Each structure stands twice: as C-alpha cells, then as structure tokens.
Amino acid sequence: MYLLWLRVAAVLYAAAGVAVFPAVLFARERWRKATFYLGGLAFFFHFVSVVEMLAAAHSWLPVGVRDTESLLALLVAAAFFLVWWLYRAVSLGIFALPVTFFIIFIPALGVDRYIFPSAGVRISWLVAHIVALLAAYTALGFSLLASLLYLVQEKRIKAKPSSTSPRALDWLPPLDNLERMAHATLLFGFPCMTVGLIIGAVLAQDSVLGAAYFRDPKVIASFIMWAVYVLLLFVRNSAGLRGRRAAYLSGAVLLVMLAVWAANVFSSVHRYGAP
C-alpha cells in the first residue's frame, strides 16, 4: 500500500514543482498558494508512505536503496517546509520540490527496477529523451545568441553611428526584442531539460546499475546541469539581469551543458545497457 501513497506523493510533488516557478519567478500569489497546498498534500502522503514502508520492513531504518531514496526525499521536503515556515522563503522551493520529485520518481515506479515492456517502447523513450535534451541545448544556444546580439546592438547605440557609418548591422532587432527573445528561449528550454532528465532517469535505472543508477557520473552531472539552469533562471529574474551579465550567465550554463555532453565519453553506462 505504501507504494500507492508514494505514487500519489510523486504526482503532487510534480504539480507543486511546476507551480513554484511562477510563484517565485513572477511573484504570483495564486501559484504560491497552489505550491503550498500541493506540496503539503504531497508531504503528507509521502510521510504516510515512509511510515508504512518502515512498518512493513519491521525496521526503523530503510533496508534498500529505493527505501533510502524515499526517506532522503522526505527529509529534503521536510527541510524545505521548515525553512518556509520559519523564514517564508518560498524561493528555495524551485530547488527543493523538483529535487524531491526526482528522488522519489524511480522508487515510485515499483519495488524492483522498471522494465520496459518491449524494445520498441524503450527506443521510444530513448528518442524522447534525446529530443527533449537537444531542444534544451538549442533553446539555450538561441538564448546565448540573442544575448550576444544584445551586446552588439547596445554597443552600436552607445557609439551613436552617423549617417556615413557602415549599416551592415541595421538588421539587428531592437534591444527590448532581443532581451525578450533571450528570456523566452531560456524559459522554453527549462521544461525540455526537466522532461529529458526524468526520462533519462528511467532509462538509466534500467541499466546494469539498476536502483543505484545515480552512481553514473553522467547522471550526477546532468542533475548539476539542471541545478545550474534553475540558478540561471532565478538570478536572471530576481536580479533583473540584462545585457552583458545575462550573456555571461547564459554562456556559463552552455559551457556546463557541453561539459555534461562530453561526460558521455567517461560514463560507463551512457548507452544505458545497450550493447
């Protein structure tokens, strides 16, 4: 029965993880309330699941990798709600709630590792994983390009070109349009990356590592990449960064993503069990 409550908690954590972004990035009070109620319900069902899990094992401590992951996720969620209650720091939720969901997602699939019903289904998941991450890479690349063009256009405007100056860059859009493009593509890439990581986690745990899929350096690096992306979104919105600093931040995140891509070479299971 505890598996049912864990699955309910995973769905609620996912919903709360979605709601927390507009609540933090755009200061939407309605989304803030939705985050509180959805996250609170998720924590309740998660707590019930952990209690039943330990009772079934006749132990005060988790007895397996997935039990440990579930308990760890509960502690992360508890720490977030405690900080929220003490300091009203809902902004930490953009890290804590998605991370909690990521941790319990695989344990919620079942006691044993998830097995794809057929090779065709597994290939479909792999294609979706690759497409989602490539879309995230592309979006971040366009965001960086728009930020760089912003710098070029800003420099042209400050230089106050005369009528006799070269007009080769007159095609550049206005600064405001470039800024909106950079921000919009950044926002588009984030859900693509998140979906890609979720699918990748399922593919990874079906590898030779099984429930200990997180030992794969590529998996660890991928979640670090996701955290850096979240940090970029948070800093860009909270500090109102534009222009040069935004371009530097986008470039830094793109370098991290390229480093994760290169980590495939060093990952022992980057093919996820494929021969």
Residue-by-residue DSSP string for 232-271: HHHHHHHTT--HHHHHHHHHHHHHHHHHHHHGGGT-TTTT
What is the distance between the alpha carbons of residues 93 and 63, in angstroms, rounded to a whole number?
29
With cut-offs at 50, 70 and 90, classify the pLDDT of residue 273.
very low
Residue 248 pLDDT = 73
pLDDT digits (tens, 9 = 90+) for 160-202: 655 545 566 667 778 788 888 888 888 888 888 888 888 887 7
Averaged over 75-97, what is the pLDDT? 90
- Give the type of residue at 184: A
CB 39 within 8 A of CB 77: yes
In the structure encoding, which two tokens stand for residue 256, read together?
Answer: 């991290």
Question: 């690759």: which residue's tokens?
Answer: 130
**CA atoms of 237 and 187, how far apart (whole Å):** 11
Block residue for tokens 């891509």 = 261
At which residue do the structure tokens 């912003």 appear?
Answer: 150
Long-range contacts of 257-261 (CB under 8 A, 24+ apart): 257/136, 257/137, 257/140, 257/225, 257/229, 259/221, 260/218, 260/221, 260/222, 260/224, 260/225, 261/137
Contact yes or no for 97/17 (Cβ under 8 A): yes
pLDDT in tens, 240-262: 666 667 777 777 777 777 776 66
Model confidence, pTM: 0.76
Q: Is the predicted pLDDT of residue 268 greater than 60, yes or no?
A: no
- pLDDT of 7 strictly over 90: yes
Instruction: Give me the pLDDT at residue 187, please.
Output: 86
